Structure 1
Amino acid sequence: MFRGVHNLTVDAKGRIKVPTRHQVQIDSICAGQMVLSIHPDDPCLLLYPLKDWQALEEKVSALPSLNIHTKRLKRKLIGHATDCELDKAARILIPSALRDYANIGKKIILSGQGHNFELWDEDTWNEQLNNLEALSKKEEIPIEISQLSL
């Protein structure tokens, strides 16, 4: 499971270095083989170990192909998917088209989401957190969350 928020820097070639605490896990799960794509709803990128990506891709591919929401999801999520691999220095190259989509500059946030990571431009991440905080104050807490014990 990938956890935690990490402040990272994108180098001049568009690469990020995966934090040390995740390198061994990524190597054991997928031998460094990852898939990077755009998030279909948020201005961020998704980074999955190849095995978890393949499971997600199968689920998406099994959806009704003539449904407009399925088409949108496939075109965004699968259509922008890029295979990537941790290099010997534990870096991942973020293609320029994906950096442009997520407005990724020099400073980014790598946020562990369990089976995958989200990659955000640092300013966009902070704006998103503030927006979610404000929105959550306007809506009732769902019963599933209110019953959760921390």
Structure 2
Amino acid sequence: MYTFTGEYEVKVDAKGRVRLPSALLKQIGEGALNFVVNRGFEKHLMMYPSDVWEKKTTEINQLNIYNTKQRQAIRYFYRGATKIATDGAERILLPKSLVEYAGIEKEAVLFAYHEQIEIWSKDAYDEMLNSEPDNFAEIADDIFGEGNSVSDNA
């Protein structure tokens, strides 16, 4: 079980390699240096430790391929999925097609939470942060307020 936390600005070299920050490596732990990266919900990438990817694919594979929306969800989830691993310098090599999709150039942000790590171009991440709502409290109230608890929706 992972409980990733943090935002990490990283450099991306000309080959698309990113060195994982030591603070993030400590959260990943020993032997969990194999990942799967795919396209995220927005113009970013999602990176999962291999064991988390297996859990996610078990969930997504429960969908019905004969239902159009579910079949599309399966396709969208798997698009660009690529196995990656750290090298001896604790770097990952991001696939060129995914780097292009996310608009990642020389700088990126690794946004780690729960069991996954989002990989954003620094500019897109900054833009996303700048478009945050002025009143996050209203959104939190809509989601978690009276009668809307997460356990009520489970």
Same fold (TM over 0.5): yes
Aligned residues: 146
Quick one: structure 1 residues 29 and 142, their matched pair in 2 at CA, closer, same or farther if it must change by over 3 Å? farther
Judge conservation of contact 1:3–1:112 (CA < 8 Å) in 2.
yes
Alignment of 1:82-93 (within 5 A): 82-93=82-93
Partner of 1:119 in structure 2? 119
Gaps of 5+ in 2: 150-154
Alignment of 1:63-142 (within 5 A): 63-133=63-133, 141-142=141-142
Give the % identical residues: 27
CA-atom RMSD, angstroms? 2.4
* 3-state SS of 1:5 partner: strand
* 3-state SS of 1:66 partner: coil
Partner of 1:37 in structure 2? 38
Deviation at 1:127, TM superposition (A): 1.1
Corresponding letter in the other structure for 2:68: I
Gaps of 5+ in 1: none
Deviation at 1:69, TM superposition (A): 2.7
Quick one: structure 1 residues 140 and 27, their matched pair in 2 at CA, closer, same or farther if it must change by over 3 Å? closer
Deviation at 1:131, TM superposition (A): 2.0
* 3-state SS of 1:28 partner: coil
